[in-house]
Structure formats: structure tokens, C-alpha cells
Chain A
Amino acid sequence: MISPAWGRSGTLGDGGERLLLAAIALYVVVFCVLPLARLFTEALVPTGDSGLHLIGQVLDSRSAQRALWHTVEAGLAATAISVVLGTAMALLVGLTDVRWPALIVFLLLLPTLVPAQITAVSWLELLSPNSLLLGPLGYAPPPGSGNPLHSREGIVALLGIEHATMVFLAVRAGLRGVPRDLIEAARAAGAGPPRIIWTVVLPLLRPSIIAGAALAFVAAIGNFGIPALLGIPGRYLMLTTLIYQRLNGFGPSVLGEVATLSMVLALLAGAGLLVQGLMTRGRRVEIEGTGADGALFGLGRARWWIEGTAWLTLLVMGVLPLVALLASSLVAAIGVPLSLGTVTLENYAFAFGHGATRRAFVNSTLLALAAALGTVAISVPFAYLVLNRRNLVARLLNGVADAPFALPGIVLSIAAILTFLPPLPLVGVSLYNTIWIILIAYLGRFLAFGLRPTLAGLAQMDRTLEDAARVAGAGTLRRLWTVVLPHAAPAAMAGGILVFMGAFNELTVSALLWSAGNETLGVVVFNLYDEGNANGAAAVAVLTVAATLAIALLTTLASRRLPRGVLPWQA
């Protein structure tokens, strides 16, 4: 809705506000709008081509059709797994008196902290014929047989587990919106917990479940680490991996073709996001009384059975693969059994000595830092304009800022290549093959990631605090600096940390944008594993996971000083 005062003289705000708006618009246009618009035009009207026939050509190719089918098939199957796992866990934690719910939530959120390529490496290590954990137990696949994860089923399983968290968070939030009375009324009517869940809770949760499922689907089809490490050797290509292979094999000459493939992927993701949007629209109804989040049902005699199943699932899902990863990082070579005598820190020494790996630590840290700082700097004024002035332009930009984060990362990489491969106007240098193109892509990709916590935090600020500053005569920039910034700072910091963690672990975007000397940690883990140095890859992965978990832990400890709803894993 347009604010009634908008567009009439004297209400556009002062010069400071216009300055802010211009800066934000520039940021969003350069990092978000321009690349995606470029991708769109390239896919429809490729450079040096006058018609739409490339689309037809690309979609006619067997490999593209197969990849599209694989993407849909694996995406849907993985979503089914995510829905079952995520919903079951949300009901368990949200409705029953299960013990140690906080630990369960932490284990469920682990996949969001561990990047996909590391999840993939961990699972591959766990289930390989040389598995250090399953081997001694006699459960490892027979030597000489392939890794069972190099298959469609392997990809589906891992994608399903990886994105169960999204369904879990959506359903958990949905539960808080289900009036407790409705469940208690069903109890009073004599229904037992299973019947209540089936006839009352699940029907009421359906929009939340569908919204969570749509997000999980979008994430699954956009995932790169898992289908790359599992599917390329397993000859099961999805759209992401097909794009990667084509561009890696043939270079920028196939940009038109991969742009078309990216558009197809973006459209699939767009369909998912549309479903999610429809399901969450207008759902923010205030419920009367309390929501159904609390120990409504006692587990009773089923406790051991249910808790046992839950812990086993969580252990297998989240903990075992990481243990396998750790084990692999501690032996010298594939096939060496793990024992006190064979434990070695050689791989860690390698990680610090190997040129590309050392560079990657520096590159990823600097890139993540720069992305975090840039995002924080723009997020505070951005959130302020979106919230406080009901500024139409700012709200429009806010909607656009979501796109690079919501769409698959590989789509953004292609968009960035298309936009920044040609020499920049005025300066005449190309950013392709430099670290700057990665930073630009990160600034676009992670803007929403940093902006959302800032919006959530600032939304809780009492608006009259700013009104009071206006009455005192302060202009926009002064109010922003003296009143808004101190309130937004904790949430913006949290947003910055999230951006840092996301960028530090990132592979999907940098997989296509890196160049010799400009490697990222994600790229190094991927390449090391690809070259057959699984143990070196494991060591680097362990180090990045440890760094990420340490940051997450510190942030959580500091979260008492944060506004509610800022950290996604505490939502």
C-alpha cells in the first residue's frame, strides 16, 4: 500500500533520506538487479544470436532434458524425506515432553552450519568401502565395490537430510500459531495424541508444512556440493552439475547455453518460492491465548521407544558423518585403519603447508569479512527505510534483495560472469578471473541474509524513540546515527556474523568464479577430494567446521543481548 503522504511535496523526507535511498538503490541494482537482468536477457536473446532458437536447442539436448528430469525427480524425493524428518522432529520437540529438546534442536540445525560439500565428504567417508567407522564393525561395503552414495538414492537421501531443517523451522513456527485450545478441546473430546496429531494438528499445520517443503525443494534443486561430489562420479547429473560441467569443460563460449540452463533452474526455484509465498501470505494471524508450543503430550510408556528412535536418527544424521570425517583427517592415506598407532596430524600439516589451501584460508576469511562488513553497512539504513518511513522504493528494493539469496547460487554465479566478464565501462578491465567477482557475487547473494536479522531486530524498536528525535529537530542522518544505529547494532552484528559464516563455507557461487590464486575453502575441499586426497580434504573440512561451530557458539552465548528472532537457529 502506498503511504498516503507519498508523492506529495514536503513529505519525501530530507536530503539525508534521499541520499540513503540513492546509496541503497545503487547497491541493490549493481549487486542484485543488474546481474539477474543480464542473465534473463542472455537466456532470451543470447549475445551474437538474434532469435530464441538457442532455448529450443538447449532444451532439445538429451543431456539437458535428463538433467532437468533428475533435478525434478531428486528434488521432489529429497523434499519428501525432509518433510517427514522435519515434521516429525518439530512435533516431537514442540508438542511432547521429550527430554533435552535443546540438544535435539542443535543436532537438527547442525546441517545448516556444516556446508553441503563437507556433508557430502563426511558421508562419503562414512559409507566408503574403506570406512574407518563401519569397516571394523564389518558393515562397510565390500572392497572394490563403489561407494553406494554415488547414486540417485544417495543424492536424494543426503539432500533430504540436509534440508530437513527448513521444514523443521517452518513447522515449529507454525505450531506456535496453532491455538492450544484446539488441541485441548480434542483431548477433552476423548481423542488420544496420535489421533489429535492426525486430525487436528497436521491439518492446521498444512500451510506451514507446504511452505517448509517448498523451501526444502528450492534448496535441494539449487544444491551443488552434494550432487557434485556424489552425482558426477555416479553419472547422475542435475541442472547445477550440468552447468558446472559445461562451463568447466568449454569455458565462456558456452555462456549462452548455461545461461539458458540457469534460467530453467531459476524458474523451477521460482515456482517453489511462489508456493511458499502463497502458503505464508496473510498467515500472520494473531492467535488468541497461547500457541501450541509446549509439552502438551506426555510420551508416557512410549518414551523409550520414541526417544530411542529420535536419538538414533539424529546420531546417524548429524554426528556419525562428522566423526567419520574427523577419523579420515587423522590417518595418513585411504585404506590405513585408524588406531592409536596410525593417528597422525600429517593432513593438518598439509593443510597449512599446501599453497592453494593456505591461500584459500586467507581468501575465504577476507571475502567473508568484506561481505559481512558491506552487508552490515547497507543493512542498517536499508532496514530503517523499509520499516520506519513506509518508503515505497525501499520496500520494493527489499523485495528485490531477496532474489539472489532465494535463487540457487549457481544461477547468481552465471549472472555474475555474464555481467562482469566484459571489461568494466570507463576502467576497461574485466573482473573475471579476479577475486573481486567473487566478492561482488557474495555481496548480492548474502544481502538478504544480513538484512533479515537487521529488519527483525529493528522492527522491535519502539517507533516513538525516533519520533522523539524528530521532535527534537534531528534530521534523517542524525537520527539514523544517534538513535537507530544503537538499536539496530546487535541485530546487524548478528546478521554480519551469519553472512560471515555463510560466505566462509560457501562453494556453490565460488565453484564457477574461482581462478588460480583465488581459491576459496569450499573450492579447496572439493578439489582435494576430487583429486583423490580424501584425507587432506577431511582435514581442511574439519578445520572449517570447527571454525564455524566456534563462531556459532560464541554468537549463541552472546545472544542474550540480541533481540528475539534474530538468530535463525533460535527462531
Chain B
Amino acid sequence: MASLTLERVTKTFGATRAVDAVTLDIASGAFVALLGPSGCGKTTLLRLLAGFERADAGSLRLNGSVLDGPGVHIPPERRGLGMVFQSYALWPHMTVAENVGYALRVKRVGRAERARRVEAALAAVGLEGLAGRRPAALSGGQRQRVALARCLAMEPPVVLLDEPLANLDVHLRDTMQAEFRRLHRETGATMVHVTHDQAEAMALADRVAVMRDGVVCQVDTPRALFECPADAMVATFVGKGTLVPVTVTGAVPSDGGTCQADLWGVDIRARWDGRARSGSARACVRPEGLALEPAGTPGTVPARVLAALYQGAATLVTLAPEAAPDITLTARLTGADAPEEGQRVGLRVLDAWVL
């Protein structure tokens, strides 16, 4: 059981602020995902946690004791954290068992005890019987499991995972996600999982930290992240949201979580956190929160259909509102007939969130 505390951790490479004053609390036993587009500093943050990089400013603590801070830097080999690398980093000249048992050897764990723990770790990832193989003789999914077993054999209090699923095909990815959840439950280890895939982050983590340009924008549960994004970046990155300009006209008396707003002259209802004040604001609308009605229906926004993309279970319709033709909105329609390209329609806002 271990908690990690980051306080204004900063790391710059030349002119790039790869990690910029990140403050983050990772509770003991939590499963946290670091989510963000490529190049936003996720790997750097993870390498700071592991100790491969040294923070230029700020501090990092494990269970309250400083790992990295002014005048202190505990090197990775003395942190005792587990890490699964994106490339797996299996040593090609060692067998699976030697790979998995390496850390135990370093710690001078006795031969019998080592064998037992290697076997247990391999069993935990479902790789009994492959102990004598070399990594080159394994499939991608098996290598991934060996990397995981190698990390688990150390029985680390914290497991760091850097895009561990990025090199797997879609089918294996789902299986491994379930494995990660199960192992998290069974080991109770604190897990920090880096990914650029929002679906993966949402499916795996109790809490997701969204990053952009080295900054952590929001840390929340997957549901809160989706429903109540804290800023424009999170709103657009998570769940394909679009931002539209609204004017909040007042709270809905009966419901503290909802307000009355004006969108291009149309009166809509939107969720808000009450802290937002009346006046000009931006709201996030998602494809699921939009519906199409015939043009001219009262309470709908006049819009023109740009394209309709059939996706099997649903149709994604992109639209340009007539009041603001340079904004593109996407509606996700299930069941209904898809409209024609260029057709005029009325857009009903079922759900919106005021930032």
C-alpha cells in the first residue's frame, strides 16, 4: 500500500516544459490513468515517478518520504517501484523465468523462494509452462504478460505502466484491460497507467488525470470527466465534445444543477455547477446530447447537414448551425433515418454542460 504525492513537479527539456508544475495526489491502492494527447508529457511524468528523470522543481513523495526534491533524488534502483514499459523491455538473452526472477535475484531472494514467486507471477498472468522460453519465441500478447509478471514478481507497492496496451491488437487489448483490473484488485498495488486512449483510461481507472502541454487539467472519476469537464481542453478531448457560445440567463429554481441559457436565440436547458455566473459562457455539447427534428420546430436550432456517416449502430451527422456556420456540431442518431446532405433541419439540445 502506497500513496504518491506530487507537488508542483516541473521538468523542462531545453525550451520545452514537458511537465509543468504538476500537483497530484495518488491515493494508496488507487488506479489512476494519465490521459492526454501524444507529446503532452505523460511519459516524462511517469519517468519522474520512476526516477529516470530528475525534477527541476517541486517534490515527489512516496508515503510521505521524499523521493525527489531539492537536494534529494532517490535513483530508480532504490525506489522499489514496478514498471511495465511500452516496448516491454524484456531482456532477449534471458529466459522468461530469468526475466521474471531478475529483481528477486538482485534482492538476494533464495533460490527456492525465487522459483516459487516466479511461478506464482507467471501463473497470475496465465503463462504457466513458458518459463523456459526466450522472449523472441513469444507472441506480442505473451510478451506483454511476461512484462507484467516481471513487474508483479517484485511485489511492488506501486506499478507504473507506460502505454502498455499500445502495441497490442484491439482484441487482446480488451482481454488485457480485464487482466489489469483483476490484478489491481488482487494485489492492491497503486497503479499509474499512461495512455492516450480515452476509452482505455475510462474503462480501467478509478481516477483519470487529463494532461495537456505538461499541465494536469483535471483529475476526476471517468464519469465526472465525461459529464462535467472542467475546461475546454478536457471537454473537447474526452468524448468528442464541441464548444458553443451561450448566454446564461438564470438558474432553474427547482433544480440547482440546471440553468436556463440562450443558444443562438434559442432557449435551452443546460447543466452547470452553480459557480458559473450568469452572462456569456461556453457550453459543451456531445453527439449523444443532440437530436434532429424537422426544420422550423420551435425550440430547435436551425442547421444545415454537412455530412452523414453511417457507422452501423448509429449514424454520425455533422451539421453547421445557420447562426454560426463555421462551427461544426456532430449528432449521433440511432435508429432514425439519416438526413440528406445539405438538408435543413432543426437541432434540439438534450444535454449541455456550462463550463
Contact = CB atoms under 8 A, between A and B. Distances in A.
Contact of B83 (A13, A14, A468, A474): A468
Interface stretch (A4-12, A183-191, A276-284): A4-12
Contacts of A286: none
A486 to B, nearest CB: 4
A474 B77 contact: yes
B85 A472 contact: no
Contact of A462 (B12, B54, B73, B87): B87
Interface stretch (B102-110, B245-253, B256-264): B102-110
A465 B73 contact: no
Contact of A464 (B13, B78, B85, B154): B85
A5 B77 contact: no
B106 A464 contact: no
A470 B77 contact: yes
B265 interface: no
A387 interface: no
A138 interface: no
B266 interface: no
A10 B60 CA distance: 15
B89 interface: yes
B29 interface: no
B227 interface: no
Given A8-B73, A472-B154, A465 B89 contact: yes
A8 B70 CA distance: 10
B71 interface: yes
Interface in B39-72: 50-54, 56, 71-72
A291 B83 CA distance: 38
B275 interface: no
Interface-centre pick from B78, B87, B89 (highest chain A CB count, 10 A): B89
B106 A473 contact: yes
B164 interface: no
B355 interface: no
B93 A486 contact: yes
Nearest to B76: A470
Interface string A452-489: 00000000001011011111111100100011001100
A282 B248 CA distance: 57
A470 B154 CA distance: 13
Nearest to A9: B71
A13 B73 CA distance: 11
B350 interface: no
Contacts of A471: 50, 76-77, 79, 81-83, 103
Contact of A467 (B13, B54, B85): B85
Contacts of B54: 4-5, 8, 10-11
B280 to A, nearest CB: 44
B72 A10 contact: yes
A475 B71 CA distance: 21
Contacts of A474: 77, 102-103, 106
Contacts of A13: 75
B78 A473 contact: yes
B245 to A, nearest CB: 42
A9 B106 contact: no
Contacts of B141: none
Given A8-B54, A10-B72, A471-B50, A464 B87 contact: yes
A417 B102 CA distance: 49
B73 A473 contact: no
Contacts, number: 86
B74 interface: yes
A471 B74 CA distance: 12
Contacts of B71: 8-10
B309 to A, nearest CB: 32
Contacts of B93: 486-487
Interface in A4-34: 4-5, 8-11, 13-14
A473 B93 CA distance: 19
Given A8-B54, A468-B85, A472-B106, A483 B91 contact: yes
B140 interface: no
Nearest to A471: B83
B73 A468 contact: no
B289 interface: no
B75 A10 contact: yes
A450 to B, nearest CB: 22
Interface string A483-502: 10011000000000000000
B102 A472 contact: yes
Contacts of A11: 54, 73, 75
B80 interface: yes
Contact of B74 (A5, A10, A468): A10
A482 B92 CA distance: 11
A486 B13 CA distance: 32
Contacts of B79: 471
Nearest to B151: A471
B258 to A, nearest CB: 49
A560 to B, nearest CB: 15
A465 B135 CA distance: 13
A470 B78 CA distance: 8
B107 A473 contact: yes
A470 B52 contact: yes
Interface-centre pick from B56, B71, B74, B103 (highest chain A CB count, 10 A): B103
9 shortest interchain CB distances as A-B pairs: A472-B103, A10-B73, A464-B89, A468-B89, A470-B76, A486-B93, A5-B54, A471-B83, A473-B106
Interface of B: 12-13, 50-54, 56, 71-83, 85-87, 89-91, 93, 102-103, 106-107, 150, 154
23 contacts: A4-B13, A5-B73, A8-B54, A9-B71, A9-B73, A10-B71, A10-B73, A10-B75, A11-B54, A14-B77, A464-B85, A465-B90, A465-B91, A467-B50, A468-B90, A468-B150, A470-B51, A471-B50, A471-B83, A472-B102, A472-B103, A472-B150, A473-B154
Given A467-B76, A470-B76, A472-B150, 17 more contacts: A4-B12, A4-B54, A5-B53, A5-B73, A11-B75, A462-B87, A467-B52, A469-B91, A470-B77, A471-B50, A472-B106, A472-B154, A473-B80, A473-B154, A475-B77, A478-B106, A486-B91
